[in-house]
A = this chain, B = another copy of it.
């Protein structure tokens, strides 16, 4: 699954001008994706997978779980707070303009979001000339139940798959994979996948989740296998825990990841080195134990 090749971590401040695709391949670039994207060349990427902030607009007070004392850990990270729809729209548009520029002629874009913002994203995509091929619906087998009973339980997230240009012919699509993944015999646009939990979920030093919205690797596998070829270059401007790159490596694709939050970089790098979810992973524990026992016995020269 993972050969242990470490993840290159690139700080673009170390250089000036355009970044060379070859030298930033298979790396994570630290920084605001708008700035980093602007330093990547035109028409150089086969596929972009994008998991932007959702603009959830959650209430300021923590939601109290009904009849329980604990507090639901809601998504209220700083990176997901925008003052208004206008501000959010502007941000998304700036990113998408750059994404369109760096995509190859027959390149494709995947975006994932929820009803809070997917309509804004989809509208902007269409206005910029992206050509939507499908909406794909991720149905979670284990969604967070809606304990207040005031709405339907939101068990889905929406992915949009779009071409850079409307009339692009010969884009990549592996129908056999689509039929394997989509429900029914027709390769429908519905994927049933559990949430990312347990061992797969990266943990921080306190043992709680490292990232609030880590996507399941299976989701990225399906995206990658249906719409890219081996050796293709995949770009993720909102890398988070690095699932996109991790799956890309597993499936023999190249990747460039961009992440603005330094808190995520160590966990992401660890994941590549150990091919494992994170600090709680058995292999890491074993390694730590081995290191503790054999302290001083081994070391890099």
Enumerate chain A interface residues (CB-CB to B < 8 A): 85, 114-116, 118-123, 125-127, 132-137, 139, 141, 143, 145-146, 149-156, 158, 160-161, 173, 175, 178, 182-184, 186-190, 226
Q: Contacting A136 at CB < 8 Å: which of B125, B152, B189?
A: B152
Q: Contacting A122 at CB < 8 Å: which of B115, B141, B189?
A: B115
Contact check, A155 vs B115: say whether CB atoms are below 8 A apart.
no
Q: Contacting A183 at CB < 8 Å: which of B123, B125, B139?
A: B139
Q: Contacting A152 at CB < 8 Å: which of B119, B134, B154?
A: B134
The verdict on A143 contacting B188 (CB below 8 Å), with A118-B119, A122-B119, A135-B158 known, is: yes
Q: State A184–B155 Cα separation when bound (angstroms).
A: 9
17 residue pairs A–B, Cβ–Cβ below 8 Å: A85-B126, A114-B135, A119-B120, A119-B122, A119-B123, A133-B151, A134-B154, A139-B190, A141-B184, A146-B186, A146-B187, A149-B175, A151-B173, A153-B186, A154-B189, A155-B183, A156-B190
A177 nearest CB across to chain B (Å): 10
Q: Which residue of B lies closest to A174 (CB)?
A: B149
Known: A122-B123, A139-B188. 16 other contacts (CB 8 A): A115-B132, A116-B132, A119-B123, A120-B123, A134-B154, A137-B137, A143-B188, A146-B187, A149-B178, A150-B175, A152-B161, A152-B187, A153-B182, A153-B184, A155-B186, A155-B189
Copy tally for this chain in the complex stands at 2
A228 nearest CB across to chain B (Å): 15
Contact check, B155 vs A134: say whether CB atoms are below 8 A apart.
no
The verdict on A152 contacting B178 (CB below 8 Å), with A145-B186, A146-B186, A158-B135 known, is: yes
Q: Contacting A126 at CB < 8 Å: which of B119, B122, B135, B187?
A: B119
Contact check, B155 vs A135: say whether CB atoms are below 8 A apart.
no
Q: Collect the chain B residues with CB atoms within 8 Å of residue A187's CB.
A: 146, 149, 152-153
Q: Collect the chain B residues with CB atoms within 8 Å of residue A190's CB.
A: 137, 139, 155-156
A60 nearest CB across to chain B (Å): 14
Contact check, A189 vs B153: say whether CB atoms are below 8 A apart.
yes
A118 nearest CB across to chain B (Å): 7
**Those 10 A-B pairs whose CB atoms lie nearest each other, nearest first:** A119-B122, A155-B188, A149-B175, A153-B186, A115-B135, A152-B189, A145-B186, A123-B123, A119-B119, A134-B152
